[in-house]
């Protein structure tokens, strides 16, 4: 893999302070987050794990600045988050590449939006190299496989040199083999780049294989029920007995221990 030139490798600190959030559904309030308190240190890769639809993705949207929280506040490097910012980039479950743009044009999106294409255009090739899509720069999204599309989405995020990479179940729709391969790729990327990572997943093994910390959420409205530090060296091994033991514990926390 080629190293992507970075200007500021330090990761971002994220401080979520007693955040509650809710929506309105058919006129009735629908609480989604309930007093979430979470501090993420620079360079951590934190997995947010919880049942489907519990509100993890909502928390990511708040951290990305796409919506303001109903109550509580969120700080990025000590400053309150007021809106989206290219230092905090999201990769969604769907690659959501723009179908009318080629892979390269998709990757340039962030630089183009900020008027940096001329000065930082060379980063596009580096980002494409980094995710192994150099040969597909001129392809359109509908010509890509699921894994390639998600790699392109990753390149589109990385080209902006984010200090926080927010991953919202980025591997959720991939086949299991591609998924395993990309878990390792993501870990390597994170280790080489030093950004702070937030990974929403409902795959316990994925969380344990990748993250330095696993935050377990309850059913909706989401509350933090456990905060586990995964103190195992990288590259990790899926058969690691410590990880297996942790997996058992998380299943217990999620109320699924009888399946062990």
Q: Are strands 88-91 and 79-80 parallel, antiparallel or unpaired?
A: unpaired
Instruction: Choose the stretch contacting another protein; rule: CB under 8 A; options: 15-23, 141-149, 171-179, 223-231.
Output: 141-149
Question: Is there a cis peptide before residue 221, judged by omega within 30 degrees of 0?
Answer: yes
Binding mask 147-176 for another protein (x = CB under 8 A): ---------x---x----------------
The reply on whether position 77 binds another protein by CB under 8 A is no
The reply on whether position 219 binds another protein by CB under 8 A is no
CA-nearest of 84, 79, 56 to 68 is: 84
The reply on whether position 65 binds another protein by CB under 8 A is yes
The reply on whether position 244 binds another protein by CB under 8 A is no
The reply on whether position 100 binds another protein by CB under 8 A is yes
User: Least distance in Å: CB of 121 to another protein?
Assistant: 15
Sign of CA dihedral 190, 198, 65, 145: positive
Neighbours of 83 (CB within 10 A): 9
Under 8 Å between Cβ of 194 and 232: no
- Segment holding 207, helix H or strand E: helix 204-210
User: Residue numbers of the site for another protein (CB under 8 A)?
Assistant: 61, 64-66, 83-86, 88-90, 92, 94, 96, 98-102, 109-110, 112-114, 136, 139-145, 156, 160
């Amino acid at each position: 893999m080629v190293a992507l030139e970075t200007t500021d490798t330090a990761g971002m600190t994220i401080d979520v302070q007693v955040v509650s959030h809710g929506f309105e559904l058919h006129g009735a309030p629908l609480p989604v987050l309930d007093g979430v308190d979470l501090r993420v240190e620079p360079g951590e890769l934190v997995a947010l794990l919880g049942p489907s639809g519990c509100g993890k993705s909502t928390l990511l949207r708040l951290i990305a600045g796409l919506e303001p929280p109903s109550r509580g506040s969120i700080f990025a490097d000590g400053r309150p988050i007021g809106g989206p910012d290219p230092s905090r980039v999201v990769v969604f479950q769907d690659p959501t590449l723009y179908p009318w743009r080629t892979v390269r044009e998709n990757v340039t999106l962030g630089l183009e939006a900020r008027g940096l294409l001329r000065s930082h255009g060379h980063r596009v090739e580096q980002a494409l190299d980094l995710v192994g899509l150099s040969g597909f720069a001129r392809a359109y999204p509908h010509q890509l496989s699921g894994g390639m599309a998600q790699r392109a989405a990753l390149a589109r995020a990385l080209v902006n040199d984010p200090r926080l990479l927010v991953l919202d179940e980025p591997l959720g729709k991939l086949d299991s083999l591609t998924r395993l391969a990309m878990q390792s790729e993501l870990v390597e990327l994170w280790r080489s780049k030093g950004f702070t990572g937030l990974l929403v997943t409902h795959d316990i093994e994925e969380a344990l294989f990748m993250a330095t910390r696993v935050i377990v959420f309850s059913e909706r409205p989401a509350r933090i029920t456990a905060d586990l530090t995964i103190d195992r060296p990288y590259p990790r091994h899926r058969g690691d007995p410590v990880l297996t033991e942790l997996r058992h514990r998380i299943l217990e926390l999620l109320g699924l221990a009888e399946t062990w």
